[in-house]
Amino acid sequence: MQTSVRSLHSTTVAFTTPPNYAPRLSEILAQNGHVPLWCPTLLIQPTPSNLTPFLAPHTLRTFSAVAFTSRTTIQAFLQAAATLSEPPLPPSGPAFTLAALGKDADLIDANFVLTLCRTHPSNGQRIRVVVPASATPTALAAELGAGAGRRVLCPVPRVVGVEEPPVVPGFLRELRAHGWVPVRVEAYETKWAGPECAEGIVRATEEERLDAVVFTSSAEVEGLLKSLREFGLGFGDLRNRCPGLVVAAHGPVTASGARRLGVKVDVVSSKFDSFDGVVDALNATFARFRV
């Protein structure tokens, strides 16, 4: 690795993130002196119509919370709610909880709350937003606390073309273990980007100009491996072409999924509420082996 990783300011970093997250990660990589190489292995298609039956006026009053496990679910929720003539929650009633992870919670602003419920600003207890200190579904379930038989709406993806990662099923189990009654609704579709999606990464390794690959979900890993097989390659072939290739995972959940699929992970971000954490971890790794 010491002889094959180039200077920090000329490192090419591929990332397989879907389009909705790609601009954020690309900007952070560029700001840190890397050359971003975007090769999405998954595509996202919101399906807000699936949420509409749950968001008819006052329909949400049968729920006590909504748990968002990704930024895309929040966006799909907003898209569905924007089509309504009235907010889905009445202005008064028991406390209602919105739960989100890390930087995703930035989308739950005052306008979001008004779309959900036209409560008076003085009624600060009507809507509460919880964000766990650790940006994981397990921490999210724990932060929601004891469900006591209450219902929680869980917008999640429908996965097409790759195996559904264990994250969502595990999250729903953990909610049940905390006494919640989770109601799953498929708010968007995650699908494989197709047999050619690895082409950019393959070409970069052929030219021996790839220094790292960043994965932000285990489904991205599976999508890449599936495409590599179309090229007659495995992930080991990429490492053979670029012996210093660094594989970085955005958090331990993604790292565990990658390892389950047979991909060795070199760097795992310990701060994973935003993409800054995985880029900081990459910087630290490259700094140790700069030439």
Show the CA angle centred on residue 108, arms to residues 218 and 156, nearest 5°.
35
Q: And the tokens for 42?
A: 């998954």
Give the whole-angstrom CA distance, residue 67 versus residue 168.
11
Token pair for 275: 């993409």
The whole-angstrom separation of Cα 184 and Cα 169 is 10
**H or E element, residue 80:** helix 71-81
Per residue, the 3-state secondary structure of 86-145, as one string, reads CCCCCCCCCCEEEECCHHHHHHCCHHHHHHHCCCCCCCCCCEEEECCCCCCHHHHHHHHC
Q: What is the pLDDT of residue 119?
A: 67
> Is-contact 73 156, C-beta < 8 A?
yes
Determine the Cα–Cα distance for residues 16 and 146; give it in Å rounded to an integer: 36
Cα–Cα distance, 52 to 64 (Å, whole number): 17
Tokens of 124: 């600060």
- Taken in order of first residue, the domains within the chain and their CATH numbers are 8-41+194-288 (3.40.50.10090), 47-191 (3.40.50)
Computed on alpha carbons and rounded to an integer, the radius of gyration of the chain in Å comes to: 21
Is the pTM for the entire model greater than 0.75?
yes
3-state secondary structure of 55: coil
For residue 271, count CB atoms less than 10 angstroms from its CB and return exposed for 0-12, middle for 13-18, buried for 19 or more: middle
What pLDDT is attached to residue 149?
97
263 contacts 246 by C-beta, under 8 angstroms: no
pLDDT of residue 120: 54
Give the DSSP letter string of 187-244.
EEEEEE--TTTTHHHHHHHHTT---EEEESSHHHHHHHHHHHHHTT--HHHHHHHSTT
Q: How far apart are CA 161 and CA 222, in angstroms?
A: 10
Annotate 5-28 with b (16+ C-beta within 10 A) or e (fewer): beebeebbbbbbbbebbbeebbeb
pLDDT truncated to tens, each residue of the chain (291 aa)?
A: 333 344 444 799 999 999 988 999 999 999 999 999 999 999 998 888 899 888 877 688 899 999 999 989 999 998 888 888 888 888 888 889 999 998 899 999 888 888 888 765 545 578 899 999 988 899 999 999 999 999 999 999 999 999 888 889 999 999 999 999 999 999 999 999 999 999 999 999 999 999 999 999 999 999 999 999 999 999 999 999 999 999 999 989 899 999 999 999 999 998 887 899 999 999 999 987 655
Residue entry with tokens 């219902």: 151
